[in-house]
Structure 1
Amino acid sequence: MKYYSTNKQAPLASLEDAVIKGLASDRGLYMPEVIKPLPKEFYDNIENLSFQEIAYQVADVFFGEDIPADKLKEIVYDTLNFDTPVVKVTDNIYSLELFHGPTLAFKDVGARFMARLTSYYTRNQNSPVNVLVATSGDTGSAVANGFLGVDGVHVYVLYPKGKVSPIQECQFTTLGQNITAIEVDGTFDDCQALVKAAFMDKELNDKLMLTSANSINVARFLPQAFYYFYAYAQLKKMGKADEMVVCVPSGNFGNITAGLFGKRMGLPIKRFIAANNRNDIFYQYLQTGQYNPRPSVATIANAMDVGDPSNFARVLDLYEHSHKAITSEISGATYTDEQIRETVKKVYEETGYLLDPHGACGYRALDEGLKPEETGVFLETAHPAKFLETVESILGSKVEIPGKLQEFMKGEKVSIEMTKEFEDFKGYLRQKV
């Protein structure tokens, strides 16, 4: 499989090049040349397959031409060694709980898959690969833990100072080994800009083998398609899959883009809803046809605090820049912190189900926008305890902290303070050579 750039000004790349480079030379994002549909027999029998069996068949479409079948199967099965249950919240709304991995966040699957694929491609490299990742919350912890201890790879996690939850911060600042946390005096968009600038800097790239583990990397975002197939399989098992609507809490748009790829592969999702917080750039695009990125603002759903989502380029490319085509399959919703708090409290009091702030956006969009004949699935992207102070203040009571999170909280924070100026970041990286 060859991969092209969304900017159409870079040469075609192999999967290996797309994974190792992360970003194309023209600053575009890599896209697979072909999105192949899965056969009818797969969908006819999908409810009888395990999550790992489903994921392997999906992965084979994208990666099977480039990776031996036994190795790809090993990567998929090793990545998906935890459950992802679909839980009923109301009669027609279900939660796809994506927080049962090592860091209790949906990004664990993509990060673990990418770590194993990168290790496969770099196993014979003489020089180490340096992974740069910007995070607004969960990406950093998932990538750091996915790559922890992987030989020949060093990860630099850039995060906005004071703008991630304390537990999220613990998950990537206490690890040590091959993980370095860089605390940037700025926003997530500033962190992302530093990463992109590093990829485009010839001097750095001549000296360091740089790649990204954000959802701009095909090895990070494509495996997230696994979730959507699994959700469909579970609804089909319940006899609820005929009018399936999926709502995705959206920040950098890697997750919903993976779902759109699934639909192109024949997955019978009726439509998508992209749920935003106050950073509603995509929502405004859906309403007006105009894309106007702006500096992000801090909210209680911090992993969605993105003012210029990278994967918007992939959405545009997928629909050939047609606003009409995009709005025919994707609608949007946007919520304030006050509305998010209302939703968490109301759902918990009425159903006993505890939402995290991001999942609350997804649930509320379905609650307000589902038609009577439709069944909605929202992606519950992280465990509520990762946002402990926020959730406890909403409920007025204590939230139990899972053992996995408690272990992270025992570690000592170690981070490198950094300005948002690229020359400072570049100078730091040069010292690492």
Structure 2
Amino acid sequence: MKFYSTNNSAHQVNLAEAVIKGLAPDQGLYMPTEIPVLSEDLLNKLPEMTFQEIGYEVIGALFSSTLSQDQIKELVDHTLTFDAPLVKVEDDVYSLELFHGPTLAFKDFGARFCSKLMSMLMEKSDRTVRVLVATSGDTGSAVANGFLGVDGVEVIILFPKGKVSELQEKQFTTLGQNITALEIDGVFDDCQKLVKEAFLDKDLNEKLLLTSANSINVARWIPQCLYYFYAFSRLPKNGKKVAFAVPSGNFGNIAAGILAQRMGLPIDQFVAATNVNKVVPDYLNGAKFAAMASIATISNSMDVGNPSNFPRLLALYDNDEKTLKNNVKGYFYSDQETEVAMQKVKKAGYTMDPHGAVGYLGLSDFMAENSDYQGVFLETAHPGKFRETVERALDLKLELPERLAAFMDGKKKVEAMGNDFKEFKGYLKGLF
């Protein structure tokens, strides 16, 4: 399979180049030139299959022209070592818990897949790959832990000073080994801009092998489609339509769900739910797409004012804006609304993190107008990752899972840096 740039469909590369380069030379995102459609017979058998068996079929359909069956099995087995249970919260409303991996966030799926695939593709190379990662929270911890100790790979994580929860920081600033954390004086969009500028700098790329493990990289993005297949397979077959509500920041997660839909999974509606960083909901509701300065919220992993994966949303619907807007509904919520939702659902016996709460709100508003649906909202991180916010909103004391609590004992190691590219380039040149 080949991959094309969203900025130029004539620019096509193989899987290895798409993964190792991360971003196309024209700043486009790589997309598969063909999206395979799974057979109706296979889709009907999904409820009888394990998560891993579903993974073999889906990843096999996408990558069998490049990877052997043994490689596909090894890749899936390395990725899917933990469950993603579907939990009933209300009548016809389910939480897809994606926080049962090593760092207790949904990005563990993509990070583990990406690190394994990258090591496979670089197995015969003697070059060191430098993975540049901009994070607003969970990406940094998932990538750091996914790549920790991987031979031939060094990870450099850029995060905005004072805008990531303490626990999230500890998960990627205390590891050492091949993981370096840069504390940027700015917001997430500044971190993302520095990474993109580095990828486009000719001088740096002549000397360093740079790549990304953000969701802009196909190896991070594509495997996220797996848990949509799995969740759908576990839903009751009651004749109702199906909606997935996705708390969204950089929009890679919902784009992966749409990829699953394009592969034949019969999802009837997507709901893009954001905090007040509402560029995409505004667009879906009739405004022109216009990037904005990001605003700090209690759902900080979604504090993105210029979502990188927006071009993928359009590409998945063949750049047809009308089709995109018909298939994806957009909603946004304030911190106060988010906390009220957390309190409401807690009274019913379920604890949500602030990101999952935004997804729940989007699903609730959609289903209030569409009673013929059952719906799934994505609970993207364990509530303990946002302990202070959750404890304050719910007036309770959370007990951290053991593997989360262990991070709090680590010593934070970071390098402080401004948001000027010359300073960042100077740091990277020091690696020559």
Into which bin does the TM-score normalised by the smaller protein fall?
A: over 0.9
Percent identity between the two aligned chains:
55
Within 1, Cα distance between the matches of 2:9 and 2:25?
A: 8
Q: Give the Å deviation of 1:368.
A: 1.9
2:298 alignment counterpart: 300
Query: Is 2:187 the counterpart of 1:187?
Result: yes
Q: Which amino acid aligns with 2:364?
A: D
Within 2, Cα distance between the matches of 1:418 and 1:56?
A: 43
Query: Is 2:268 the counterpart of 1:270?
Result: yes
Q: Which amino acid aligns with 1:404?
A: R
Within 1, Cα distance between the matches of 2:226 and 2:114?
A: 14
1:397 alignment counterpart: 396
Q: Which amino acid aligns with 1:23?
A: L
Q: For the Cα contact (< 8 Å) 2:240–2:372, is it kept in 1?
A: no
Does 320-329 or 253-262 show the bigger shift?
320-329
Q: For the Cα contact (< 8 Å) 1:99–1:105, is it kept in 2?
A: yes
Aligned residue runs from structure 1 range 27-38, under 5 A: 27-38=27-38
1:380 alignment counterpart: 379
4+ long deviations beyond 4 Å = none
Correspondence for 2:358 among 361, 375, 379: 361
2:418 alignment counterpart: 419
User: How many residues are matched?
Assistant: 430
Within 2, Cα distance between the matches of 1:348 and 1:4?
A: 45
Secondary structure at the counterpart of residue 285 of structure 2: helix
Q: Which amino acid aligns with 1:428?
A: Y
Q: For the Cα contact (< 8 Å) 1:246–1:273, is it kept in 2?
A: yes
Within 2, Cα distance between the matches of 1:52 and 1:415?
A: 37
Aligned residue runs from structure 1 range 31-430, under 5 A: 31-235=31-235, 238-240=236-238, 242-349=240-347, 351-370=348-367, 371-430=370-429
Q: Give the Å deviation of 1:241.
A: 6.7
CA deviations 1:65-94 (Å, max 9, x no partner) are 111110111110111111110000001100
Q: Which amino acid aligns with 1:223?
A: P
Within 1, Cα distance between the matches of 2:201 and 2:371?
A: 53
CA deviations 1:137-178 (Å, max 9, x no partner) are 100000000000000000001100000100000000000000
TM, length-normalised to structure 1: 0.98
Which residues of structure 1 form unaligned runs of 5+? Answer: none
Q: Which amino acid aligns with 2:269?
A: R
Within 1, Cα distance between the matches of 2:62 and 2:239?
A: 25
Q: Give the Å deviation of 1:380.
A: 0.2
Q: Which amino acid aligns with 1:366?
A: L
Within 2, Cα distance between the matches of 1:344 and 1:159?
A: 27
Within 2, Cα distance between the matches of 1:322 and 1:77?
A: 36
Q: For the Cα contact (< 8 Å) 1:289–1:323, is it kept in 2?
A: no
Within 1, Cα distance between the matches of 2:287 and 2:364?
A: 25
Q: For the Cα contact (< 8 Å) 1:9–1:26, is it kept in 2?
A: no
* CA separation of 1:241 and 1:121: change in aligned 2, threshold 3 A: farther
Within 1, Cα distance between the matches of 2:431 and 2:66?
A: 32
* CA separation of 1:201 and 1:332: change in aligned 2, threshold 3 A: same
Q: Give the Å deviation of 1:129.
A: 0.3
Q: Which amino acid aligns with 1:427?
A: G
Q: CA RMSD in A?
A: 1.0
Q: Which amino acid aligns with 1:146?
A: G
Within 2, Cα distance between the matches of 1:153 and 1:367?
A: 43
Secondary structure at the counterpart of residue 13 of structure 2: coil
Within 1, Cα distance between the matches of 2:251 and 2:349?
A: 29
Within 2, Cα distance between the matches of 1:16 and 1:65?
A: 12
* CA separation of 1:61 and 1:75: change in aligned 2, threshold 3 A: same
Within 2, Cα distance between the matches of 1:9 and 1:432?
A: 34
Q: For the Cα contact (< 8 Å) 1:232–1:241, is it kept in 2?
A: no
Q: Which amino acid aligns with 1:365?
A: G
Q: Which amino acid aligns with 1:279?
A: N
Q: For the Cα contact (< 8 Å) 2:363–2:375, is it kept in 1?
A: yes
Q: Give the Å deviation of 1:379.
A: 0.4
Within 2, Cα distance between the matches of 1:234 and 1:320?
A: 30
Within 1, Cα distance between the matches of 2:135 and 2:238?
A: 35
Q: Which amino acid aligns with 2:371?
A: P
Q: Give the Å deviation of 1:322.
A: 2.4
* CA separation of 1:240 and 1:382: change in aligned 2, threshold 3 A: farther
